[in-house]
């Protein structure tokens, strides 16, 4: 496997110049997929300069909205053409089962088409400001954007940023995680093939150093970041120096609340999916299960059997239900979190170990793990593990359930399971998070905003707001007949 280059600047693939090699590993067996040189700060400078020049030249920001929409639509069509290849790349990079990677590709196609449609809406509105005045508010592109993305949903997270940024008329430099560069590089190539003018989309493949240089760059107007909360704080600090607009999608510790009036089998099946999708490495994972005491034991029995039955394997094997974790380091963090939980008194109901299958020994696998007897003073309940670990807590009434659910510094997503739709509405209103699912978990649509409250983030992706994030509003006040102000006599 080879990459066309580790940099895409001004419409050409180039090699980086840091002198430091990065190794991309296949998490299913630890083998080397590709090695490339990391972007240096000087490479980031060149990429930003190209994006700045393209923005100022107006060949994209000033192009008719229909032209920008056309590029997004053609990119979506090209992605449909390359669907299987891109899904395979995503699985090779992230370890997730092919079935999940195909869903990611389809979702990205939908997002590109959604923002192609919204690109045509320039949201200008007029204000009645008197007979001699034309007052209008127009939307303009925010400028040069730094788009920094994580390793769990590489293709999806870059598309959630690039599609609205390009629809708005911005130019962008993208920095994917060093662990998962493959599909982002492919998407950038497809955008060029679809007719995005040179300089409009740049790519730098590098590690946190390149990310830090990019988000601090004085010629960047806006930063959109998805990743860990600690890195998010560093990004906010770096952006403060030149008062950039910042959008952050950070971690989560998402409550999944189960009342007693449910079909236990259905809830168990969904709770396993909520917690263990992509080996739990999902910002919106339902990692905290809150269960009414009346059904607690039945739910735990179902979870234990279900978690132990999950088939781990290489994501390219169609029988695989759950793939490896992204890296040895991420698995080690998970193992430490489980050990800490047991030391604090949690009870291991399932998992808590690497798989026994020798065929998986070289990959970064960890068995889906269920911990019961958990309480909110335990680190495993408070802190994001970002691995296949589900904690279970019991509650006795609605008020207690809501208090437990909201007792977190995060606020990304949450869910409630009940047959009582009035109660569902009350709990949905009381949860302090950006998304609430009722009797469901994980679905999203391009037209509905996504993002977090509290330490889960700032701003929203998707929906009309996801486009507004990349636009600046300008009020133009035009007086037809100039006259004296009358203030100074």
Q: Which residues are designated catalytic? A: 249, 283
Complete DSSP assignment for 340-395: HHHHTT-EEEE--S--S-GGGTTS-----EEEES--TTSHHHHS---SSEEEEEEE
* Three-class SS state of 404: helix
In the bound state with ligand NDP, the residue whose beta carbon lies nearer, of 401 and 458, is 458
In the bound state with ligand NDP, the residue whose beta carbon lies nearer, of 61 and 287, is 287
Q: Does 455 bind ligand NDP (CB under 6 A)?
A: no
The interface with ligand NDP within residues 179-198 (CB under 6 A) comprises 179
Give the residue, chosen from 145, 235, 272, 289, that forms a contact with ligand NDP under the rule CB under 6 A: 235
Cα torsion angle, 263, 448, 275, 403, sign: negative
> Which range in 137-145, 176-184, 255-263, 287-295 contacts ligand NDP by CB under 6 A?
176-184
Considering the complex, what minimum distance in angstroms separates the CB of residue 408 from ligand NDP?
14
The interface with ligand NDP within residues 106-165 (CB under 6 A) comprises 148-152
Q: Does 451 bind ligand NDP (CB under 6 A)?
A: no
- Dihedral Cα 227, 231, 233, 239, nearest 10 deg: -90
Q: Does 459 bind ligand NDP (CB under 6 A)?
A: no
CA–CA gap between residue 71 and residue 470 (Å, rounded):
17
The closest alpha carbon to 48, from 236, 201, 161, 155, belongs to 201
Residue 59: what are its φ and ψ, rounded to 5°? -70, -20
CB atoms within 10 A of CB 185: 23
Considering the complex, what minimum distance in angstroms separates the CB of residue 258 from ligand NDP?
24
Q: Does 97 bind ligand NDP (CB under 6 A)?
A: no
Instruction: List strand residue ranges (DSSP E) for 110-206, in order.
Output: 125-127, 133-141, 144-148, 171-175, 201-204
Binding mask 253-292 for ligand NDP (x = CB under 6 A): ------------------------------x---------
In the bound state with ligand NDP, the residue whose beta carbon lies nearer, of 423 and 454, is 454
# residues contacting ligand NDP (CB under 6 A): 26
Helix axes 398-406, 421-430, angle to 10 degrees: 30
Considering the complex, what minimum distance in angstroms separates the CB of residue 223 from ligand NDP?
8
> How many angstroms separate the Cα of 295 from the Cα of each of 263, 291, 431, 441?
10, 7, 22, 19
CA–CA gap between residue 396 and residue 260 (Å, rounded):
9
Q: Does 250 bind ligand NDP (CB under 6 A)?
A: yes
Binding mask 366-385 for ligand NDP (x = CB under 6 A): ------------------x-
Q: For residue 103, give both structure tokens.
A: 């869903």
In the bound state with ligand NDP, the residue whose beta carbon lies nearer, of 174 and 192, is 174
Q: Does 351 bind ligand NDP (CB under 6 A)?
A: no
Considering the complex, what minimum distance in angstroms separates the CB of residue 189 from ligand NDP?
19
Contact 254, 433 (CB under 8 A): yes
In the bound state with ligand NDP, the residue whose beta carbon lies nearer, of 43 and 384, is 384
The interface with ligand NDP within residues 205-234 (CB under 6 A) comprises 207-208, 211-212, 215, 226-228, 231, 234
Q: Does 43 bind ligand NDP (CB under 6 A)?
A: no
CB atoms within 10 A of CB 458: 18
In the bound state with ligand NDP, the residue whose beta carbon lies nearer, of 91 and 149, is 149
CA–CA gap between residue 17 and residue 5 (Å, rounded):
11
CA–CA gap between residue 218 and residue 419 (Å, rounded):
53
Note the residues at the interface with ligand NDP (CB under 6 A): 148-152, 175-179, 207-208, 211-212, 215, 226-228, 231, 234-235, 250-251, 283, 384, 386
């Amino acid at each position: 496997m080879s990459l066309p280059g580790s940099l895409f600047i001004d419409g050409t693939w180039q090699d980086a110049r840091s002198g430091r090699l990065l190794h991309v590993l296949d998490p299913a067996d630890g083998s080397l997929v590709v090695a490339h040189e990391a972007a240096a700060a000087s490479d980031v400078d060149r990429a930003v300069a190209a994006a700045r020049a393209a923005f100022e030249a107006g060949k994209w920001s000033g192009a008719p909205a229909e032209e920008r929409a056309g590029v997004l639509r053609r990119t979506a069509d090209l992605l449909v053409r390359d669907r299987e290849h891109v899904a395979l790349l995503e699985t090779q990079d992230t370890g997730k089962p092919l079935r999940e990677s195909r869903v990611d590709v389809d979702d990205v196609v939908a997002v590109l088409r959604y923002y192609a449609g919204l690109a045509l809406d320039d949201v200008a509105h007029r204000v009645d400001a008197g007979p001699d005045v034309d007052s209008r508010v127009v939307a303009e592109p925010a400028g040069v954007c730094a788009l920094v993305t994580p390793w769990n949903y590489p293709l999806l997270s870059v598309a959630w940023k690039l599609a609205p940024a390009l629809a708005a008329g911005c130019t962008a430099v993208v920095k994917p995680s060093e662990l998962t560069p493959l599909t982002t590089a492919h998407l950038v190539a497809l955008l060029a093939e679809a007719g995005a003018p040179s300089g409009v989309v740049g790519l730098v493949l590098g590690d946190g150093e390149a990310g830090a240089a990019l988000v601090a760059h004085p010629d960047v107007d806006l930063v959109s970041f998805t990743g860990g909360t600690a890195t998010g704080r560093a990004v906010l600090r770096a952006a403060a120096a030149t008062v950039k607009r910042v959008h952050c999608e950070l971690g989560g510790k998402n409550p999944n609340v189960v009342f007693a009036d449910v079909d236990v089998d259905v809830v168990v099946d969904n709770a396993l999916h909520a917690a263990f999708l992509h080996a739990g490495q999902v910002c919106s994972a339902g990692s905290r299960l809150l269960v009414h005491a009346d059904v607690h034991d039945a739910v735990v029995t179902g979870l234990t059997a279900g978690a132990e039955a999950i088939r781990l394997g290489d994501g390219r094997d169609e029988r695989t239900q759950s793939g490896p974790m992204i890296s040895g380091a991420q698995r080690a963090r998970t193992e430490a979190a489980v050990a800490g939980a047991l030391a604090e008194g949690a009870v291991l109901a399932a998992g808590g170990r690497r798989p026994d299958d020798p065929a998986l020994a070289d990959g970064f696998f960890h068995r889906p793990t269920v911990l019961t007897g958990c309480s909110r003073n335990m680190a495993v309940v408070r802190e994001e593990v970002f691995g296949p670990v589900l904690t279970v807590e019991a509650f006795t009434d609605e008020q207690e359930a809501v208090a437990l659910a909201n007792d977190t510094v995060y606020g990304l997503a949450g869910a409630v399971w009940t047959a009582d739709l009035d109660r569902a509405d009350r709990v949905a209103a009381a949860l302090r998070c950006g998304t609430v699912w009722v009797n469901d978990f994980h679905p999203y649509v391009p037209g509905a905003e996504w993002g977090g409250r509290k330490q889960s983030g700032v701003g929203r992706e998707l929906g009309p707001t996801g486009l507004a994030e990349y636009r600046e509003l300008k009020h133009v006040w035009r007086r037809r007949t100039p006259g004296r102000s009358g203030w100074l006599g």
